[in-house]
């Protein structure tokens, strides 16, 4: 089985959970036939982590297709995100410690002007709670241990940033971004720009390059064909 599968990841699952579940399904399929799968037959990976709270498109790779992972990681992505103003989170999402910051209510024009500031090539500092490796270890693992994590800022590209809805304290945006862009950081930077504080309360990846979440299947149906 050397193939690419588009999965619509549910909230609460890590990307590794999805990989492990599909690997288990493959193993079970061989076992029911009285066969022992080879290491190659159990080779499962993915092309781009989604945070546990996020939903949407996860590209899962089987067998030799895993060799394409690094190539796919560089592809552009599209997200729909809900940003909550007035509060911050230690992780930039609902899973962190939430702190009230401000009750200032920016008007729609202020929100639109803030969004304009983040279009194009920008400098962005990746979050401490991320899968980036720092001295050989994942940053989020160090952060969970209470260690200070300092990841240098990097240049990322935001091709499109569209306001879909705004009803304080929530604003919903669609973002078409280049590789390496963190939407959680974008949410926090929006909060700084507006002087309110903010975090990403909901996140859904709707596309990776030409692949759309509309063509994705549930984890349970990953091997149905």
Per DSSP, the three-state class of 203 is strand
Q: How far apart are CA 178 and CA 53, in angstroms?
A: 21
Cα separation, 84 vs 200, in Å, equals 6
Sole residue written with tokens 């911050």: 88
The DSSP call for residue 10 is P
Tokens at residue 3, please? 């193939």
Beta strands in 65-182 (DSSP E): 77-85, 87-89, 98-100, 120-124, 133-134, 137-138, 154-167, 170-177
- Token match 């200070």: residue? 148
Residues involved in catalysis: 51
């Amino acid at each position: 089985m050397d193939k690419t599968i588009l999965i619509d990841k549910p909230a609460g699952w890590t990307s590794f959970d999805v990989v492990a579940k599909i690997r288990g399904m493959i193993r079970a399929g061989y076992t029911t036939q009285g066969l022992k799968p080879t290491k190659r037959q159990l080779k499962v990976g993915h092309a781009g982590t989604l945070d546990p709270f996020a939903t949407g498109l996860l590209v899962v790779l089987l067998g030799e297709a895993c060799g394409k992972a690094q190539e796919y990681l560089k592809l552009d992505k599209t997200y729909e995100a809900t940003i909550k103003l007035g509060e911050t989170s230690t992780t930039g999402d609902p899973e962190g410690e939430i702190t009230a910051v401000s009750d200032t209510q920016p008007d729609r024009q202020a929100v639109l002007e803030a969004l304009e500031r983040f279009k194009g090539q920008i400098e962005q500092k990746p979050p401490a709670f991320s899968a980036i490796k720092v001295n050989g270890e994942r940053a989020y693992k160090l952060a969970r241990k209470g260690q200070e994590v300092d990841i240098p800022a990097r240049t990322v590209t935001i091709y499109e940033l569209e306001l879909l809805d705004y009803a304080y304290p929530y604003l919903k945006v669609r973002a078409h971004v280049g590789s390496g862009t963190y939407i959680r950081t974008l949410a926090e930077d929006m909060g700084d720009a507006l002087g309110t504080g903010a975090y990403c309360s909901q996140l859904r990846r709707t596309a990776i390059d030409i692949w759309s979440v509309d063509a994705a299947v549930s984890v349970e149906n990953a091997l149905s064909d």
